[in-house]
Amino acid sequence: MTNDANRPANIPPSKLVFACSGAADVGEISDKAARKLTKDGIGKMFCLAGIGGRIQPVMATTKSASLILAIDGCAMDCVKNCLKQAGFNNFQHLRITDMGLEKGKSPATDRRVAEVAERAEDLLNNE
């Protein structure tokens, strides 16, 4: 975890990605897409449970982020709601089912994960 108090002034805060990791296939796709974004160096997957638990280091790092992206699997918008309830209102939001994937009918294939990661990358790069 980044210690923002020790971050040099010329290094901007990171782009953080919070993802649904629910039991449904669209949750799995969300989670895998966020991990792909991290692996590819596009954003950094961060701990949604830390937001829900109001863990201070997680909250502080999130507050200092240059951009926050919420990836939700379905219309229940659990990620979006967790962030809002924690006081974060300025973030990008991507809902997987809005991309035409159906909950319970969309296995987490590499192609689907890549498509979601690509859409998420667009949101992260077009702040």
Domain assignment present for residue 100? The answer is: yes
- Domain total for the chain? 1
Domain assignment present for residue 2? The answer is: no
Domain assignment present for residue 6? The answer is: no
Nearest to 81 by CA among 66, 93, 96, 97: 93
Residue 6 has pLDDT above 50, yes or no: no
Mean pLDDT in residue range 10-37: 90
The per-residue pLDDT for range 47-89, each reduced to its tens digit, is 999 999 999 999 999 999 999 999 999 999 999 999 999 999 9
Asked if residue 60 lies in contact with residue 69, where contact means CB atoms within 8 angstroms, the answer is no
Alpha helices in 41-77 (DSSP H): 48-52, 56-63
Domain assignment present for residue 1? The answer is: no
Helices (H) and strands (E) in the chain — how many of each? 5, 4
Asked if residue 96 lies in contact with residue 26, where contact means CB atoms within 8 angstroms, the answer is yes
Q: CATH no. for residue 21?
A: 3.40.50
The per-residue pLDDT for range 87-110, each reduced to its tens digit, is 999 999 999 999 999 999 999 999
The boundaries of the domain holding residue 47 are 14-125
Containing 19, the helix (H) or strand (E) segment is: strand 15-19
Q: How far apart are CA 31 and CA 104, in angstroms?
A: 16
Domain assignment present for residue 86? The answer is: yes
Residue 7 has pLDDT above 60, yes or no: no
Domain assignment present for residue 66? The answer is: yes
Domain assignment present for residue 41? The answer is: yes
Q: What is the pLDDT of residue 13?
A: 63
